[in-house]
Structure 1
Amino acid sequence: MRIGILGGTGPAGSALALRLASVGFDTVVGSRSADRAAETCNRLRADWPDHDLPLSATDNHGAALCDVVVVATPWDAAAATAASVARELAGKVVISMGNALVRIDREFQPLMPPRGSVAASVQAAAPKSMVSAAFHHVPARELGDLNHPVESDVLVCSDHPEATETTLAIVTELPGVRGLDAGPLSCATPVEAFAAVLLQLNTRYKTRVAVRFTGLDLEGD
């Protein structure tokens, strides 16, 4: 499976690219500039020389040709970026990981995108794709530190069973991560907004919190 990352040069996108490549996914870093994507790949290899990282670089159009595509741009560019490659995304699973947030002084506030969530906006921009929402609560710093597993649950929301199943299959390959089917894409609205609470906790307690849900017997299910 080849996974392309639109906006893969930013903190979240590059950290996810690194983590995916570290477990063997053929990962393609995309950007508006292919040269900038190449710089990011080179930096990741230099930072982790002991890891054989299947990373390659291209522009966003090239990354959109992959089997599965992640939209990792800033939240306010996610829909426009998806629209620019909507033809390439048709029929594919597209993972949206953006959170619509703003920081005012020391307070993080969730915003309400026009369609209720970033993921729903991406689905509207690429209507022939199968969008899932995931990775909203995993800090980029933890994703980008291969010395430690990512101890977190990842909630996956989608209106397409294939997108849910594919996203969960990717998530469960990451050490320490548990993927959970959190329902339809409409549930992405509170999931994305809750990221503001986690950032507030990080600021208040000077740490990096993660989400874990109790009471789930997945093996029993």
Structure 2
Amino acid sequence: MQIGILGGTGPLGSALAARLAASRLSVGLGSRDAKRAIGVVQDLIQRWPEVDGYLVGASNDEVARAQMVFVAVPWEATARLVEPLEHILEGKIVVSMANALVKVGDEFAALTLPRGSAAQLLQARLPAAMVVAALHHVPARSLANLSRPVEVDALVCADSSGARSQVAGILSRIPGLRVLEAGSLAQAPAIEAMTAVLLNINLRYKATASIRLTGVEVA
């Protein structure tokens, strides 16, 4: 399967691209500036030679033609990114990783969006796509170090059970990452809001907090 990562030159997008490419998936890392994407890919290949041959840099327009597309920009930039690509993304699985958060004083807090969550807002922007919410609690720093397993639980939700299962299968290729299907997009507001709690814990304890659920056995 071909994977595309829109706006993938930031910490989360580039880390995810490297992880998936290391699992021998064909990955396109996209940017508004194709040269920038190519430069990021060259840096990743230099650091992690095992991704060579599986990872390429390109424009967002080219990357959007992949079979499964991850959106790696902040929630407030999502609409501007996907609107010109709507016709390309029709019928495809589009993965939202954004969290609608705001800094209030010394704390992070979750925003209440008109559609409920960043993932639901993306689904409204792309009615002909199958939006899946995933990776909200996975630190980019953990993803970026390919020499270590990710030891985090990733909660995945979507209105399409088939799309949800496909994304879970792709993400399960990442060593150490346990993927749990958490229901429909109705669960996205709670999942995204939990990220604010984790960030506040990080600030308080100077840590990199993530999620690991107990009492769940996955075959």
TM-score by length of 2: 0.96
Q: After superposition, where does 1:111-130 map in structure 2 within 5 Å?
A: 111-130=111-130
User: 1:106 aligns to what?
Assistant: 106
User: 1:186 aligns to what?
Assistant: 186
User: 1:80 aligns to what?
Assistant: 80
1:55-112 CA-to-partner distances (Å, cap 9, x unmatched) read: 1111111111001000111111113322221111111111100011122343111112
C-alpha contact 1:75 1:98 (8 A) present in aligned 2 = yes
- Give distance in 2, aligned partners of 1:7 and 1:53: 21
Please tell me the root mean square deviation across aligned C-alpha atoms, in Å: 1.3
- The residue type paired with residue 89 of structure 2 is L
Q: After superposition, where does 1:126-145 map in structure 2 within 5 Å?
A: 126-145=126-145
Equivalent residues, number: 219
User: 1:36 aligns to what?
Assistant: 36
C-alpha contact 1:5 1:29 (8 A) present in aligned 2 = yes
- The residue type paired with residue 63 of structure 2 is A
1:183-210 CA-to-partner distances (Å, cap 9, x unmatched) read: 1101101101110111111111111111
- Give distance in 1, aligned partners of 2:7 and 2:133: 16
C-alpha contact 1:4 1:66 (8 A) present in aligned 2 = yes
C-alpha contact 1:30 1:57 (8 A) present in aligned 2 = yes
Aligned to 1:37, the other structure's residue is in SS state helix
Give 1:53 shift: 5.5
- Give distance in 1, aligned partners of 2:115 and 2:63: 25
User: 1:18 aligns to what?
Assistant: 18
C-alpha contact 1:159 1:185 (8 A) present in aligned 2 = yes
Q: After superposition, where does 1:141-180 map in structure 2 within 5 Å?
A: 141-180=141-180
- Give distance in 2, aligned partners of 1:144 and 1:24: 16
Q: Could you list the runs of 4 or more consecutive aligned residues of structure 1 that deviate by over 6 angstroms after TM superposition?
A: none
- Give distance in 2, aligned partners of 1:25 and 1:144: 16
Sort the Cα spacing of 1:53 and 1:118 in 2 relative to 1 into closer, same or farther, 3 A: farther
- The residue type paired with residue 23 of structure 1 is S
- Give distance in 2, aligned partners of 1:61 and 1:199: 32
C-alpha contact 1:93 1:162 (8 A) present in aligned 2 = no
Structure 1: gaps spanning 5 or more residues:
none
Aligned to 1:8, the other structure's residue is in SS state coil
- Give distance in 2, aligned partners of 1:148 and 1:64: 29
- Give distance in 1, aligned partners of 2:4 and 2:22: 15
User: 1:27 aligns to what?
Assistant: 27
- Give distance in 2, aligned partners of 1:56 and 1:21: 9
- Give distance in 2, aligned partners of 1:48 and 1:151: 20
- Give distance in 1, aligned partners of 2:75 and 2:69: 16
Give 1:24 shift: 1.0
User: 1:4 aligns to what?
Assistant: 4
C-alpha contact 1:31 1:59 (8 A) present in aligned 2 = yes
C-alpha contact 1:22 1:53 (8 A) present in aligned 2 = no
Structure 2: gaps spanning 5 or more residues:
none
Give 1:51 shift: 5.0
TM-score by length of 1: 0.95
